[in-house]
Amino acid sequence: MRPTTLGVIGLGAIGGSVAREAKRAGLSVTGWSPDPAERRAALSQGALDDAPAQAAEVARAAELLILAALPAANLELLTKLGPCLSATALATDVGSVKRSIVARAEALGLAARFAGSHPFAGTQAHGFDASRAGLFTGAVVYVTPTRGGATAAREIAHFWESVCGARAVAMDATAHDTQIAVTSHLPQVIASLLGRYLAEHVPRGAALGPGAKDTTRLAASEPGLWTEILLMNRDMLLPTLRALEEPLGELERALESGDARGVSAWLDRGARWRRSLEP
Amino acid sequence: MRPTTLGVIGLGAIGGSVAREAKRAGLSVTGWSPDPAERRAALSQGALDDAPAQAAEVARAAELLILAALPAANLELLTKLGPCLSATALATDVGSVKRSIVARAEALGLAARFAGSHPFAGTQAHGFDASRAGLFTGAVVYVTPTRGGATAAREIAHFWESVCGARAVAMDATAHDTQIAVTSHLPQVIASLLGRYLAEHVPRGAALGPGAKDTTRLAASEPGLWTEILLMNRDMLLPTLRALEEPLGELERALESGDARGVSAWLDRGARWRRSLEP
């Protein structure tokens, strides 16, 4: 699918970037944000052709509707805007947890016209000011089909690839949420855990090197967004968090007993893995 | 102090960078590495004027001797090379833990001629190939005096500032080790802990975003070096590691009970702190 009219609900870093990219690709783009100033900014910066005051107008005009609000709001928006979609329109979202929105689409009878999307191109920045064309170039976008929605999923995957230059990867919503708990939600918690600790224990004026800054970069992410994400995926995330206790205790015991071989082997596992990645 | 002859023992990322910087500043630089190939590389790339086969020759020729081997080796090198120093020469090291080397200098009767240094400009890369002139420009270098070594500490601080363009910060060795356990050693452990976990749980071929990569960048650091650092500072580090259990448990309980306000407040602490830093 390469729609000629795109609707974007939510004009933050992701929604704004999709709008900019679609405009650049020549689509007619309508968008909505609950914040009138954000709608005006998106219009004046050429990310939108139209920014009506009502989200329903965006839904009615779109061949493809993209829900890019916060995850819990996307669930409500799908319920509210589903009936506004034209008979042939498709819809997707851009949230980081996929089981809940896929289940909602199925429950609403939208299975044939919805697939979940998760562009794996987040940033700790947020809001329309953090949006940019090119954000998705080369990025993975997971596309999670509903039961019976394989065709819609293929169309939506094609949108991400042909309009946004992304690499679409089809994946079952449960498999996605399992994987993303490890590759994304866990790093967020770890960075926030370290950030909390440093906030309380770094002496005022003490220097921080690039190491501490990189390790905590994600801690600056928006707490409101991440509260929803972590809660929606808590069943996948909690076992992962609890599983950290054992290796942490292992290091503590090796340090206590002065076990240099144990400490070195402990560090070595992550070092070999991290060095095997591209920078 | 702005010496005219510098001796560098250990030609890794830090030692090699000091040598390059000193050469650029017009000093005569002699260096030694246990690895003949590293000595040849440093000579052929213009980082050294001379690279004798014996470390003692470097110590004898230097007005300032810099020990840039691994932390445990630096302790031995100070013992072995101290007697080779000329009567007016000074010595320092570049390790990340300062109490042990400062105590060793005092025990060896070198208190008036030694101060510890810790250039806070590490990199996860290592070896002479990772060295570069300019590594210390604008970086903090902690200088930790011995008892009775205030003059030597001032001279060595002046070397870091005038020759390497660094910002020297004088600090008691115990205060340094306390602070660095939090600002540097803890982030290393956290990155390695996450790296270990991801090494074992990321499905083959799964995409990793910049978040997971940044949060684990330090995990690629050299295990041999970090084993020595963590063990030398374990009395400062262990209480810090144990102190992570409480906030991690706090998040787990908030997630279990669906406490959105609790999760949000938990994330908010680190977010405000991290946003207050420059990028």
Please check the confidence at residue B1 and state whether its pLDDT lies above 70. Answer: no
Please check the confidence at residue B125 and state whether its pLDDT lies above 80. Answer: no
A/B interface, count of CB pairs below 8 Å: 258
Domain boundaries, chain B: 5-171, 244-279
Of the candidates A169, A258, A277, the beta carbon closest to that of B213 is on A277
Q: Could you tell me the maximum CA-CA distance found in chain B, to the nearest angstrom?
A: 69
Confidence of residue B121 (pLDDT cuts 50, 70, 90): confident
The 10s digit of each residue's pLDDT in A49-68 is 999 999 999 999 999 999 99
Please check the confidence at residue B12 and state whether its pLDDT lies above 70. Answer: yes
The 10s digit of each residue's pLDDT in B199-228 is 999 988 898 988 999 999 999 999 999 999
Confidence of residue A124 (pLDDT cuts 50, 70, 90): low
Q: Residue B5 in contact with residue B63, Cβ under 8 Å? A: yes
Confidence of residue A209 (pLDDT cuts 50, 70, 90): confident
Which token pair is B56? 């003692």
Please state, in angstroms and rounded to a whole number, the distance separating the CA atoms of residues A185 and A240. 10
Measure in Å the smallest separation between the Cα of A9 and chain B Cα atoms: 24
Measure in Å the smallest separation between the Cα of B138 and chain A Cα atoms: 12
Measure in Å the smallest separation between the Cα of A92 and chain B Cα atoms: 21
Confidence of residue A279 (pLDDT cuts 50, 70, 90): low
Please check the confidence at residue B279 and state whether its pLDDT lies above 70. Answer: no
The 10s digit of each residue's pLDDT in B71-101 is 999 999 999 999 999 999 999 999 999 999 9
Average model confidence (pLDDT) across chain B: 95
Which residues of chain A have a CB within 8 Å of the CB of B208? 183, 277
Of the candidates A220, A266, A273, the beta carbon closest to that of B271 is on A220
Q: What is the pTM of this model?
A: 0.91
Please check the confidence at residue A230 and state whether its pLDDT lies above 90. Answer: yes
Please check the confidence at residue A207 and state whether its pLDDT lies above 90. Answer: no
CB contact under 8 A, A267 and B192: yes
Q: Residue A149: which region, alpha, beta or left (left: phi > 0; alpha: psi -120 to 50)?
A: alpha
Confidence of residue B244 (pLDDT cuts 50, 70, 90): very high
Of the candidates B122, B224, B252, the beta carbon closest to that of A241 is on B252
Which token pair is A256? 């206590």
pLDDT at position B124: 67
Of the candidates A227, A251, A277, the beta carbon closest to that of B208 is on A277
CB contact under 8 A, A216 and B270: yes
Please check the confidence at residue B41 and state whether its pLDDT lies above 80. Answer: yes
Measure in Å the smallest separation between the Cα of B118 and chain A Cα atoms: 12
Confidence of residue A189 (pLDDT cuts 50, 70, 90): very high
Please check the confidence at residue A278 and state whether its pLDDT lies above 90. Answer: no
Q: Give CATH superfamily name and number for A5-175.
A: NAD(P)-binding Rossmann-like Domain (3.40.50.720)
Q: Residue B94 in contact with residue B22, Cβ under 8 Å? A: no
CB contact under 8 A, A207 and B140: yes
CB contact under 8 A, B247 and A196: yes
Which token pair is B213? 């990569």
Measure in Å the smallest separation between the Cα of A76 and chain B Cα atoms: 18
pLDDT at position A213: 95
CB contact under 8 A, A230 and B255: yes
Which residues of chain B have a CB within 8 Å of the CB of A258? 231, 234
pLDDT at position B213: 95
Chain B residue with CA closest to A181: the answer is B202
Which token pair is B65? 């001797």
pLDDT at position B3: 87
ipTM score for this prediction = 0.91
Chain A residue with CA closest to B263: the answer is A227
Chain A residue with CA closest to B196: the answer is A270
The 10s digit of each residue's pLDDT in B189-206 is 999 999 999 999 998 889
Which token pair is B189? 């452990």
Measure in Å the smallest separation between the Cα of A28 and chain B Cα atoms: 30
Which residues of chain A have a CB within 8 Å of the CB of B238? 252, 255-256
Q: Which residue has the tokens 């407040």?
A: B265
Measure in Å the smallest separation between the Cα of A71 and chain B Cα atoms: 13
Measure in Å the smallest separation between the Cα of A154 and chain B Cα atoms: 20
Measure in Å the smallest separation between the Cα of A74 and chain B Cα atoms: 17
Mutation target to probe the B interface, by most B beta carbons within 10 A, among A264, A272, A275 is A264
Of the candidates A124, A263, A268, the beta carbon closest to that of B230 is on A263
Task: For domain A183-276, give the fold.
Answer: 6-phosphogluconate dehydrogenase C-terminal fold (1.10.3660)
For residue B51, which of B12, B91, B8 has the smallest C-alpha distance? B8
Please state, in angstroms and rounded to a whole number, the distance separating the CA atoms of residues A156 and A150. 10
Of the candidates B218, B247, B271, the beta carbon closest to that of A223 is on B271
CB contact under 8 A, B271 and A221: yes
Of the candidates B206, B223, B255, the beta carbon closest to that of A268 is on B223
For residue B21, which of B41, B44, B47 has the smallest C-alpha distance? B47
pLDDT at position A1: 66
Mutation target to probe the B interface, by most B beta carbons within 10 A, among A100, A214, A256 is A214
Of the candidates B214, B230, B260, the beta carbon closest to that of A217 is on B214
Task: Report the CATH architecture of B5-171.
Answer: 3-Layer(aba) Sandwich (3.40)
Mutation target to probe the A interface, by most A beta carbons within 10 A, among B117, B204, B215 is B215
For residue B218, which of A216, A224, A89, A104 has the smallest C-alpha distance? A216
The 10s digit of each residue's pLDDT in A66-116 is 999 999 999 999 999 999 999 999 999 999 999 999 999 999 999 999 999
Please state, in angstroms and rounded to a whole number, the distance separating the CA atoms of residues B136 and B167. 9
Beta bridge partners, A30, equal A7, A50
Chain B residue with CA closest to A214: the answer is B214
CB contact under 8 A, B230 and A255: yes
pLDDT at position B31: 98
